[in-house]
């Protein structure tokens, strides 16, 4: 919302200068919070870009803008505040988990119990490529991968691996409303090598038999059978194993196109960093941004497409539609684009009819 006026916001607190608060992250995933005095939203965005912030959110500003660090007020609010974002130092050194060289993060923190590192069951199992389920009739929690199945019960240190009973050093535990398991025991059952780096307080897991292509093929099969939820999980698993697997990025981008446009755009962007010459992916990304209301971003994409592929009518039509959008309203440029579309050698009859209807509006 850098151009507030074109988004329909007229309040001076949004369109003009004000005290601003923000939270964002650098490309190295460092969290940054701060305040800036007497700036517009556009100026705030430029300042954040200059200091290396790649993603940011503008928070409540004006009289609510405040910042405290190390028990000292840096920016004082001019009214009483009822809520705040607070970051505190952990009392204990956090337990860290790494899988195949990449650090993992769960919705609850790992912890020690009787000298064993406990991690959320679902998070670790899915990272290892296993499927997790629960039998409500018996209270059995199960995890399965390939020809290995593990049955577990909350509060019990007895588990069954393919029907054979084994005893854990610590029982399966429920903490923070999540089931936790000892990471070494469980990971080794599924063929992983586990070590502990005491200096970093980090459990390192190596799972060499994870093939991203095998998981990808399984995901495609699930998608073709109509099981989109399982396909999504498996495509995400592919990217955990190989973060540069472009095919999984494209599948996720298309999968999210009907349910979550922002996620769809995110994965199209990641895919195009690896496959920048996939012009149809660029075209879909352009329309995705247009649907999200980011018309200027869509405009830049269609400009790029018409430069790269000047003989494709669809790209000129897309660019014309962006110029004609109410956020831009450059009808002269829109007409020029529509006329360029008509001169393209492979324009279809339906495209011609559509363009003629558009041009009638500007005669």
pLDDT exceeds 70 at position 362: yes
The model carries a pTM of 0.48
Query: What per-residue confidence (pLDDT) applies to 339?
Result: 95
In this structure, is the dihedral angle defined by the CA atoms of residues 329, 333, 336 and 342, taken in order, positive or negative?
negative
* pLDDT (tens digit per residue) in 114-160: 989 999 999 998 888 888 999 999 999 999 987 899 999 999 999 99
Q: What's the mean pLDDT when you consider all of the chain?
A: 90
pLDDT exceeds 60 at position 1: no
pLDDT exceeds 80 at position 279: yes
Residue 139: DSSP 8-state: T
pLDDT exceeds 60 at position 312: yes
Helix 279-292 and helix 295-308: axis angle, to 10°?
A: 160
pLDDT exceeds 70 at position 332: yes
Q: 191 with 184: CB under 8 angstroms?
A: no
User: Among 189, 187, 188, 201, which Cα is nearest to 162's?
Assistant: 189
Q: Which residues contact 38 (CB under 8 A, 6 or more apart)?
A: 17, 18, 19
Query: What per-residue confidence (pLDDT) applies to 139?
Result: 93
Fold of 96-206: Copper Amine Oxidase; Chain A, domain 1 (3.30.457)
* pLDDT (tens digit per residue) in 228-277: 999 999 999 888 878 889 999 999 999 999 999 999 999 999 999 999 99
**Would you list the domain boundaries of the chain?**
5-75, 96-206, 277-363
Average pLDDT (156-165) is 96
pLDDT exceeds 90 at position 213: no
Local confidence band at 210 (pLDDT 50, 70, 90 cut-offs): low
Query: What per-residue confidence (pLDDT) applies to 343?
Result: 95
Query: What per-residue confidence (pLDDT) applies to 251?
Result: 96
3-class secondary-structure state, position 15: helix
Query: What per-residue confidence (pLDDT) applies to 7?
Result: 67
Domain 277-363: top CATH class: mainly alpha
Question: Structure tokens of 363?
Answer: 């005669």
Average pLDDT (209-235) is 86
């Amino acid at each position: 919302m850098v151009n507030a006026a074109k988004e329909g916001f007229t309040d001076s607190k949004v369109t003009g200068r004000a005290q601003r608060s923000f939270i964002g992250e650098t490309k190295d995933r460092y969290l940054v919070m701060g305040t800036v005095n007497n700036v517009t939203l556009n100026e705030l965005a430029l300042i954040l870009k200059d200091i290396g912030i790649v993603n940011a959110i503008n928070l409540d500003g004006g009289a609510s803008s405040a910042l405290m660090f190390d028990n000292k007020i840096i920016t004082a609010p001019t009214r009483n505040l009822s809520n705040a974002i607070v970051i505190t130092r952990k009392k204990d050194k956090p337990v860290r988990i790494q899988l195949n060289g990449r650090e993992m993060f769960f919705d609850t923190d790992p912890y020690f119990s009787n000298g064993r590192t406990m991690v959320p069951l679902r998070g670790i199992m899915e990272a290892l490529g296993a499927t997790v389920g629960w039998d409500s009739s018996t209270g059995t929690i199960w995890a399965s991968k390939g020809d290995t199945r593990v049955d577990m019960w909350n509060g019990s240190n007895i588990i069954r691996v393919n029907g054979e009973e084994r005893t854990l050093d610590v029982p399966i535990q429920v903490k923070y409303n999540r089931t936790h398991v000892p990471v070494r025991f469980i990971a080794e059952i599924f063929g992983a090598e586990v070590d502990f780096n005491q200096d970093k307080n980090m459990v390192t897991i190596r799972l060499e038999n994870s093939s991203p292509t095998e998981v990808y093929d399984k995901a495609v099969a699930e998608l073709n059978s109509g099981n989109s939820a399982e396909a999504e999980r498996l495509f995400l698993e592919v990217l955990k194993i190989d973060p540069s697997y472009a095919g999984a990025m494209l599948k996720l981008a298309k999968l999210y196109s009907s349910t979550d446009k922002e996620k769809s755009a995110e994965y199209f962007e990641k895919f195009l960093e690896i496959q920048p010459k996939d012009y149809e992916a660029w075209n879909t990304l352009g329309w995705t941004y247009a649907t999200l209301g980011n018309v200027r971003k869509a405009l830049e994409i269609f400009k790029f497409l018409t430069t790269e592929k000047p003989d494709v009518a669809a790209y000129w039509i897309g660019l014309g539609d962006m110029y004609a959008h109410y956020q831009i309203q450059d009808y002269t440029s829109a007409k020029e684009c529509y006329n360029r579309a008509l001169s393209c050698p492979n324009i279809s009859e339906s495209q011609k009819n559509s363009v003629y209807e558009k041009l009638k509006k500007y005669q």
